[in-house]
Structure 1
Amino acid sequence: MSDDVEWVDEEAGPVVRPYALTGGRTRASSSSFDVLSMVVATGAAAATAVHLGSEHRRLLDLVRRTRPIAEVASEAGLPMGVVKVLLGDLLDQGLILVRSPVPAATPPVESLLQEVINGLRAL
């Protein structure tokens, strides 16, 4: 049997339920995940004693370049909770890096916005 198991049947939908992909876990081992957190593979090889499922390997392929977790979940077609648990496994093994989203800057003062609008109208 090949390692590339097809987890989706075109007519029946998902063959394996999300809780089976995570071993029944509902939370990632690390709380450093935010929907907008950026994830990228480190390129490190997995330890030989570590068993990575096909979904883990699939996520590693998806994060070869830096991407937000929300995009990874969408591309993988998996629920966000499942992706966070699987990425937590990869983070524990040192196979990915996670960067928190940059906090939003303070919003501009209303008077400044009004001056910009007035300046544009004057053009």
Structure 2
Amino acid sequence: MRGRRAGRPLVPAYLSTGGVARPSRPQLERLSVLSGSGAPLPVGLPAAQLALLDALDGGSLTVVEAAALLELPVSALRVLAADLVDRGLVLARAPIPPAEGFAPDLLRRVADGLRALKHD
């Protein structure tokens, strides 16, 4: 009898979502930021959702970070997180948009100021 292959989860990802394949909130993206709401936990939450809530305890993670931490596919974590958002146990906010651009003059002034500090 052979043991489990390294890196392969003991439980298939679709079982961690209760067989649900798509999240109820399609706007939940890979870089959406998740945090616990602090609401009391209902009895009978699945182990995967409890693990996600535990990972979010006292902080925030992106969907991708939480998936890596729990060793689940991003698609499965999106389903778990969406259900917890629906229950009011997790807060989700859109990813922070990339900066529009920078002012080259500002960068030059910062570099000049750093050089001045270095020579003092």
The reply to whether TM is greater than 0.5 is yes
Q: Which runs of 4+ in 1 moved over 4 A?
A: 109-117
Q: CA deviation at 1:26?
A: 1.5
- Identical residues among aligned pairs (%): 33
Residue 97 in structure 1 maps to residue 97 in structure 2: no
User: Which AA in structure 2 matches 1:32?
Assistant: Q
Distance 1:111 1:19, change over 3 A: same
Q: How far did residue 65 of structure 1 move?
A: 3.1
Cα distance in structure 2, aligned partners of 1:95 and 1:63? 11
How many angstroms apart in 2 are the aligned matches of 1:93 and 1:100?
18
Q: Distance in 2 between matches of 1:97 and 1:112?
A: 36
Q: 1:11 aligns with which of 4, 9, 14?
A: 4
Letter in 2 for 1:97: L
Q: TM-score, normalised by structure 2?
A: 0.73
- Equivalent residue, structure 1, for 2:57: 64
3-state SS of the aligned residue for 1:20? helix
Counterpart in the other structure of 1:40: 35
SS of the equivalent of 1:14 reads: coil
TM-score normalized with structure 1 length: 0.72
Unaligned runs of 5+ in 1: 1-9, 118-123
Residues 84-109 of structure 1 deviation map (CA, whole Å, 9 limit, x = unaligned)? 10111111110010011121121236
* Alignment equivalent of 1:78, drawn from 57, 72, 79: 72
**Deviations along 1:7-33, whole A, 9 cap, x unmatched?**
xxx735422211111122221111231
| Count of residues paired in the alignment | 111
The letter for the 1-side match of 2:51 is R
